[in-house]
Chains A and B, each alone.
Chain A
């Protein structure tokens, strides 16, 4: 097995174009498990750990351009205010060891429907920036990135360079159900972003479909119902919150598996959607989200 160690992004992209079957490795928290379990035997590993361009984040206008190789623990400590939804999701990932190594680039690369970074990226309409040495850079809306379980639109000669995540302009929430109180893969999860500037509501559903999903009808419903309330900051009617939960539940497309039944996932997503909307709206009313 070859072990390729580029030190710049350009080198990395060239190496990927020259060896399209080389498997990129960032934190290795998915790749090493697969190697260990003999799930795959790549001819080459492309270590992205030495590529400085991937390891940083920067503010670009009203976005955070989050390098694919920034680990979760840095998102938690450095980006809690700018990207609260993603930071909350990052806190739920694995254990401290996993959060020290694991990255959003790796989460996207693995493209698991259970990846915890995905619901917040969907909810706040982030884009995935990918690049190839021959065809340049393209930006893909998070909602269009995933095409099936563990499959994305990433081409074999491409690498994920960054996630472009809008800086929060409203409260965000993330909640994940697992059958243990820490270190657990999601049975289902839900991300919510209220965008007070655009007066929009974003959603992301994890682990309840072949890919991470949005709940467009729930979003549209909430936007209509909340429309007059952004200024008055009145409480949301219970019936509205309930309906929102139902629509999120209906948007899911879950299956029965070892982690839970489809029926449970639908049910739990409704509960999570209700609760996260209530929390987010309470934060919006008090303004506590922006501190």
Chain B
């Protein structure tokens, strides 16, 4: 058999960083995103949304809207052809609201018109009479027995899911105890390309939908059910995706555009604006977390008791998985004998929350890492020493009973970031001051702080989910050259998956020319581009399909032990045959459905081998804070991460930098402010994301400790850096200011203690 070290020699193969096919187009603004879709004679769709977080719809009057010239259709829930319900885990969300609206922004009616402006006017002309109710907006109140139940069908009231994890001593005690309460605000994925797509009615009574999404097949299934069409009549093609980060896992405009297209018989395009986008997708769950850590005087963790409440908002979306992650990963990458953990996901009338990079693990990590710092302080111990002392390693048992059966280099990651040289003091340049070019300090009040964070994340889908991907690989000779095409339904969302699929084919088949076909539903599911899983699962499927193609080629060459290299069949460094000559007119094609090893469910004590792989990253943050104004500048963010195998080193760095930036955003600025169920800042004017002046240099250490269970030994990369950068930055701010800072994002008011309203 060929060994992978030999195979990586192929130029542009695995381990290289070939130029992305979409790179230059994106940089030059020429890439076609889903919002650029166009069809002749197409109509424009628009959505009427509820202004109230909780109300009964008494009446919808569409007459005025229909009379506007240019309006082709105004549809409501009565027009949903099939099942008026969807949802990733619980189908609890209406395509269009029936009698009750449960969040501000819930779709109530849809319009198609010959111009987007006309469509918007028609939306404004729809009359809806609401009976407004007092919304349930506090997640703890929602769990109380006397709270208004928002989904009467749900057997557990407003609790979507409760996961308990119990291990070790049920009533543990320890000589040193620290407790803390923490909260996490609602973060937005803030992708740059708003929800958009084009639905084209087909002659066979079906529909072709071009859309920016993360998982074509889960959309296909839900759209087909809502339209009452057989699945094969709902054909989806991935359109250019302008970022995702979890926000495209749930449906947005998919069914609406299809309904309008089928009703009018014309192509219908829908594009949300930035403001509508804030209402058009789920967000990161806000959380309240209460932790108690017990330790010995020497600093060994004895027990953790924790209660985590996650606000899922009006509909379940991915809440059940988010709760499971928070519960199973909520102790962090530490060995703890006794764990008593309860994690709850709840319904409220706040905006629905679901998938976002690192979900469940992000919220928990802010709390457990804050606790580790608190404990270190109480013990008079160095915070890194305390972490090293308790760090998990390969062979450690998680609180779920699952044994970590591949590299878990937490100790090494922490030491790498700790031992990095410190950045120099700020230069005499406004851009290096907290407050930046806004000229708020020339050094006055500026204090430096250093903080650490380390986190753990599961890769792939957990708890027994049948997590697979499908790949078709075809090898043939075209115009005298061997050419490979790779077809999957996996969504390129900016992470570089298209590039990676071609790299794998080059490495496995020794062919330079690889085309990755557009992702669509003409092939089986690839699963979602989420949970840091696509390189693992779709990468695994592409490799497996390539292996079958290779085996057939080698059989043809009658050299089953040979390699494919540079278009040749090579055996023991001797060229046995030329691929082009060998193939002639023959096409070799294989389709493979590939699964990672199975996971299992959690029992009533949260015990089980629920996760397929664990991934780790550590950060050291160095910050300057103006303690008088409460303004922060992150000076440097060092990160060390184990990626198993850097399949594309440049893409790996991009993931670490981008993930860390998202964590930085959560630490110091990004929050959807919701008051009484209403979003107060649905725009990029007031929902701030980091700019280049906020993002510091990032010294990186990328470890490649192969996971023997994973293709190429790779470990999912995308999420871990988002998880640990937030607590590291907050720890650094605490170190500089001496403030407790139990909530993220940290605002200047928290540092200057000017939160009180006047």
Contact = CB atoms under 8 A, between A and B. Distances in A.
Interface of A: 33, 36-38, 88, 91-92, 173-185, 187, 256, 258-264, 266-268, 271-272, 275, 279
A256 B756 CA distance: 9
- If over half of B's interface residues share one DSSP class (helix, strand or loop), that class is named, otherwise mixed; here it is loop
Nearest to B682: A37
Nearest to A267: B754
B273 A37 contact: yes
B680 A92 contact: no
Interface stretch (B176-184, B329-337, B473-481, B684-692): B684-692
Q: Which 10 A-B pairs have the closest CB atoms?
A: A181-B436, A264-B754, A263-B754, A182-B693, A176-B438, A181-B693, A262-B758, A264-B749, A258-B681, A175-B439
A268 B629 contact: yes
Which of A36, A258, A260 has the most chain B CB atoms closer than 10 A to its own CB? A258
Contacts of B490: none
A177 B691 contact: no
Contact of B438 (A184, A261, A263, A275): A184
B756 A263 contact: yes
Interface stretch (B293-301, B440-448, B575-583): B440-448
B437 A91 contact: yes
Contact of A271 (B628, B680, B688): B628
A271 B626 CA distance: 11
18 contacts: A88-B439, A173-B439, A175-B435, A176-B439, A177-B435, A177-B631, A178-B435, A178-B438, A179-B669, A180-B688, A180-B690, A181-B436, A181-B694, A182-B691, A263-B754, A264-B630, A267-B752, A271-B629
A32 B120 CA distance: 17
B757 interface: yes
Given A92-B437, A181-B431, 5 more contacts: A179-B631, A180-B691, A268-B748, A275-B440, A279-B442
Contact of B747 (A91, A173, A179, A262): A179
Q: Is the interface of A mostly helix, strand, loop or mixed?
A: mixed
A183 B120 CA distance: 30
B756 A261 contact: yes
A175 B440 contact: yes
Given A258-B680, A262-B757, A181 B435 contact: yes
Nearest to A185: B685
Contact of A264 (B681, B685, B693, B752): B752
B633 interface: yes
B688 A184 contact: yes
Interface of B: 120, 273, 275, 431, 434-442, 444-445, 628-631, 633, 668-669, 673, 680-681, 683, 685-686, 688, 690-694, 747-749, 752, 754-758
Contacts of B754: 261, 263-264, 266-267
Contacts of A179: 631, 668-669, 688, 747-748
Contacts of A37: 273, 275, 683
Contacts of B437: 91-92, 181-182
B440 A176 contact: yes
B68 to A, nearest CB: 14
Given A180-B691, A264-B630, A175 B748 contact: no
B686 A258 contact: yes
With most chain A CB atoms within 10 A of its CB, the pick from B440, B668, B749 is B440
A59 B757 CA distance: 46
Contact of B691 (A181, A256, A263): A181
Contacts of B431: 181
A260 B749 contact: yes
A67 B754 CA distance: 40
Given A92-B438, A268-B629, A275-B441, A177 B758 contact: no
B748 A180 contact: no
Nearest to B124: A38
A279 B444 CA distance: 11
